[in-house]
């Protein structure tokens, strides 16, 4: 047996049980800190997708799930929340082994998932229809909200369990069944997570996971005629392909895509807090977050002093083993992502931006792929480093003159996921809030998200919103019912 064959194996998860793929093929998954393979993941195919969607459809139409009251669905979600807390350290370790997220952040994130399940547990039996006061006599019209059916959930590698739960908790609260396709780089935590749903008492087929690659699993899943809705988080290219496929099948979608978010610092801000906000915006999670504040807009009067303080602070950030509690910046999660970030550092240099911090790959830790916190100044907003998502620890600093200039630069980009504003002036903050086109605006803070609050993008950052009360609507159809009390015979050729 070769060393690779001796690694632990993860199967697909279909109909409530680990299930080997039809074509008995597995691919290795790496630990980005060591650069070594640590497990084998089942390589799903279109035939596996067909099995999983078949199981999800059967569970949706038949068996106990459709007979469960909304309150009972809520009780199951609460049980999942309890299991998440019980298993959080183990799930966090597995996720970290796949994507290299630092200890403090990954454990906090996994524990916090329980709150999403509690929130939608509470919401499950509070989705109410309306009685419609129609203009017609002798009828009672009312609406019912019914689950859409089988939902496909497709997620990236940066926060696998979190981004899945943003879709999974409301989908299950609504009464849908799901087939999840995690990123090929981070499948293990999702497979461990899926087993908790059987433990919680979900009927087989309600939650299924098919691991594998975008073309081999994602494409057939999106195109499957029995999939009613697609919840996707990931890059713009895959997002566009999914939207096109969904249009052909006339399916609904929620798309959470990329960003190039402006973090705007005015000269009257609490500059130390703003500096920490800039660090959190771009260097937390090594910049591998969709909401990264990757364009730092600094008012010209404070630009040089602010950058100097930022460089001083960021240069002391500790890179290293993500399992070590004192590490602040872990490895880049995947090899292709590492190469992409390094190529953007070269692009920025070639465009004439000046690197005042970092800019180099580091290999002395663990053997995996690290990139130093990197800051570019002399950036013009038309440069590629200011327009394109890098998804790494690379900051582009752009000066601005006044409020109107800041807003112009902030909006001069194709994305609209988020923005930050740092000021003590209410007028300035409101001026920006009213004008910047982004789904989230943080004032004097950066990077907060919650199960209570809608999250999503303007422009090319996506379609729809996740989290909060309205997110459950993405998984529901509205049916309007007309009940007649008419006793007389009516003329069938005249519309009432
Ligand atoms: P990606 O788009 O390459 O892959 C995401 C998922 O889609 C993976 O599971 C992949 O296998 C699958 N996929 C790829 N092509 C597909 C296709 N044609 N049909 C169906 N599925 C397909 O993204 P990634 O590199 O894994 O993640 C990084 C991206 O995710 C960044 O652009 C980032 O901005 C985005 N992201 C967005 C948010 C948000 O909430 N807006 C959050 C995190 C990450």
Asked whether residue 211 carries a pLDDT value surpassing 70, the answer given is yes
Q: Can you tell me whether residue 1 is helix, strand or coil?
A: coil
Whether residue 1 has pLDDT greater than 80: no
The mean per-residue pLDDT over the stretch 394-416 comes to 98
Instruction: Report in angstroms the alpha-carbon separations of 362 from 96, 294, 342, 372.
Output: 19, 21, 11, 7
CA 335, distance to chain mean position in Å, is 20
CA angle 69, 451, 260 (to 5 degrees): 135
Does the CB atom of residue 451 touch ligand 1 within 6 A? no
* Identical topology for domains 9-257+461-479 and 262-443: no
Please report the pLDDT score of residue 4 as a whole number.
Answer: 74
Residue nearest to atom 24 of ligand 1 (CA): 156
3-state secondary structure of 205: coil
Q: For residues 192 and 482, what is the distance between their CA atoms, to the nearest angstrom?
A: 46
| Residue 242 CB less than 6 A away from ligand 1 | yes
Q: Which residues pair with 233 in a beta bridge?
A: 256
Distance 355 CA to ligand 1 centre (A): 29
Q: Is the CB of 222 under 6 A from ligand 1?
A: yes
Residue 65 has pLDDT above 90, yes or no: yes
**Nearest in space to 177 (alpha carbons), one of 47, 53, 84:** 53
Distance from the alpha carbon of residue 346 to the mean position of ligand 1, in angstroms: 24
Asked if pLDDT for residue 303 goes beyond 90, the answer is yes
Beta carbon of 218 within 6 Å of any ligand 1 atom: yes
Q: Where are the domains of the chain?
A: 9-257+461-479, 262-443
Q: Which of the listed residues 45, 156, 394 should we mutate to test ligand 1's pocket, taking the one with most ligand atoms within 8 A of CB?
A: 156
Q: By alpha-carbon position, which residue is closest to atom 3 of ligand 1? A: 235
The gap from C-alpha 377 to its chain's centroid, in whole angstroms, comes to: 29
Fold (CATH) for 262-443: Aldehyde Dehydrogenase; Chain A, domain 2 (3.40.309)
Specify the CATH number for 9-257+461-479; select among 3.40.50.150, 3.30.450.20, 3.40.605.10, 3.90.1150.10: 3.40.605.10
Average pLDDT estimate for 490-496: 84
| Ligand 1 centroid – CA 182 distance (Å) | 9
Instruction: Give 201 Cα–ligand 1 centroid separation in angstroms.
Output: 30
39 φ, ψ (degrees, to nearest 5): -155, 165
Residues 152-203: pLDDT tens digits? 999 999 999 999 999 999 999 999 999 999 999 999 999 999 999 999 999 9
Cβ(163) – ligand 1 distance below 6 Å: yes
What is the rounded average pLDDT of the residues 202-214? 98
Between CA 186 and CA 343 the distance in angstroms is: 23
Provide the percentage of residues in the chain whose pLDDT is more than 70: 100
Going by pLDDT thresholds of 50, 70 and 90, the confidence category of residue 364 is confident
Q: What is the pLDDT of residues 410-438, one digit of tens each?
A: 999 999 999 999 999 999 999 999 999 99
pLDDT for 217-276, tens place per residue? 999 999 999 999 999 999 999 999 999 999 999 999 999 999 999 999 999 999 999 999
- Residue 5 has what pLDDT? 75
| Mean pLDDT for the stretch of residues 342-364 | 96
pLDDT at 441 over 70: yes
Cα torsion 153, 157, 161, 166: sign: negative
At 355 the three-state DSSP class reads strand
Average pLDDT over residues 91-108: 95
Positions marked catalytic: 256, 290
DSSP 196: H
pLDDT recorded at residue 68: 98
pLDDT at 488 over 90: no
| pLDDT, tens digit, 9 for 90 and up, residues 4-62 | 779 999 999 999 999 999 999 999 999 999 999 999 999 999 999 999 999 999 999 99
Residue-averaged pLDDT of the chain: 97
């Amino acid at each position: 047996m070769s060393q690779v064959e001796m690694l632990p194996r993860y199967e697909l998860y279909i109909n409530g049980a680990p299930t080997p793929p039809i074509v008995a093929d597995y691919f290795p998954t790496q630990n980005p800190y060591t650069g070594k393979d640590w497990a084998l993941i089942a390589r799903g195919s279109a035939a596996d997708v067909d099995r999983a969607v078949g199981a999800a459809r059967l569970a949706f139409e038949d068996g106990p799930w459709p007979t469960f009251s909304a309150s009972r669905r809520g009780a199951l979600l609460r049980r999942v929340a309890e299991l998440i807390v019980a298993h959080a350290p183990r799930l966090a370790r597995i996720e970290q082994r796949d994507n290299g997220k630092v200890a403090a952040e990954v454990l906090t994130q996994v524990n916090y998932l329980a709150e999403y399940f509690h929130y939608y547990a509470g919401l499950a039996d509070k989705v109410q229809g309306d009685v419609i006061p129609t203009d017609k006599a002798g009828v009672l019209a009312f609406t019912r909200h019914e689950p859409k059916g089988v939902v496909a959930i497709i997620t990236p590698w940066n926060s696998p369990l979190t981004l899945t739960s943003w879709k999974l908790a409301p989908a299950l609260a609504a009464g849908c069944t799901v087939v999840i396709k995690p990123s090929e780089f981070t499948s293990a935590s999702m497979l461990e997570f899926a087993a908790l749903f059987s433990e919680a008492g979900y009927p087989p087929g309600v939650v299924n996971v098919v691991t594998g690659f975008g073309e081999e699993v994602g494409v057939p899943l999106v195109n499957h005629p029995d999939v009613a809705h697609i919840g996707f988080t990931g890059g713009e290219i895959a997002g566009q392909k999914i939207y096109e496929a969904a249009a052909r099948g006339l399916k609904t979608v929620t798309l959470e895509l990329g960003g190039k978010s402006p973090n705007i610092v005015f000269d009257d801000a609490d500059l130390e807090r703003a500096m920490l906000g800039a660090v959190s915006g771009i260097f937390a999670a090594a910049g591998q977050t969709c909401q990264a504040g990757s364009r730092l807009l600094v008012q010209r009067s404070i630009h040089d002093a602010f950058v100097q303080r930022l460089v001083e602070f960021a240069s002391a950030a500790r890179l290293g083993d993500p399992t070590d509690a004192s590490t602040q910046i872990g490895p880049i999660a995947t090899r292709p992502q590492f190469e992409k970030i390094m190529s953007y550092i070269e692009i920025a240099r070639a465009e004439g931006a000046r690197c005042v911090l970092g800019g180099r790959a580091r290999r002395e830790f663990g053997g995996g792929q690290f990139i130093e916190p990197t800051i570019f100044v002399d950036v013009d907003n038309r440069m590629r480093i200011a327009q394109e998502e890098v998804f790494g620890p690379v900051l582009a600093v752009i000066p601005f003159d006044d409020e109107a200039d800041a807003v112009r630069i902030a909006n001069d980009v194709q994305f609209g996921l988020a923005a930050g504003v740092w000021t003590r002036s209410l007028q300035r903050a409101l001026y920006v809030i009213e004008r910047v086109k982004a789904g989230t605006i943080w004032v004097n803070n950066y990077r907060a998200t919650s199960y209570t609050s809608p999250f999503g993008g303007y422009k090319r950052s996506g379609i729809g919103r996740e989290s909060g009360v309205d997110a459950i609507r993405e998984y529901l159809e509205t049916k309007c019912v007309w009940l007649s009390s008419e006793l007389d015979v009516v003329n069938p050729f005249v519309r009432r």
